[in-house]
Amino acid sequence: AMSRARLGLYVFARVGIFANCYELTPAFKQLLKHPTELHIYPDERCPTNRKTGDLPPAAKVIKDMPEMSKFVYDFYYKVIERLMKEQDEVDKRKEAAVTAAHRFQTPKEAKTLDAPIEEDPEKKKKNLEETLAQPSWQ
């Protein structure tokens, strides 16, 4: 499997099998001039502030495809967990804001916030009487 990274190329293959293949010899001679293990920096973001020759402190070395697969799964799981926690915090802040808004609401504001409001019983009775007094064909 081959993939282009933003700053390079990485290849997952069984070197012992393909390096001796006559058709692939030129390509593998070039590839084997470089390290055969993938070094990644999962905590580094693009663009980075470091200089080209400087290495970040925590390199993750990937030796084979199963290890890469596990890394991707674990990394994805951590990202999803972080996003879910962030969303929970946002939801809690929204809920707190709505609760605070309900404490200081006027009846008009309560309708816009979908909050139950206490209506004057006399006003309710008057509205009911007006509704019943109107003919049903109107």
Among 20-29, 64-73, 79-88, the minimum mean pLDDT is found in 20-29
Q: Side chain identity at 79, as an amino acid letter? A: V
Instruction: Centre a 10 Å sphere on the Cβ of residue 38 and count the other Cβ atoms it contains.
Output: 19
- The b-or-e profile of 56-91 (16+ CB within 10 A means b, else e) is eeeeeebeeeeebeeeeeeeeeeeeeeeeeeeeeee
* Residues 135, 132: Cα–Cα separation, whole Å: 8
pTM higher than the cut 0.85 = no
Residue-wise pLDDT tens digits, 48-73: 788 887 877 778 898 888 998 999 99
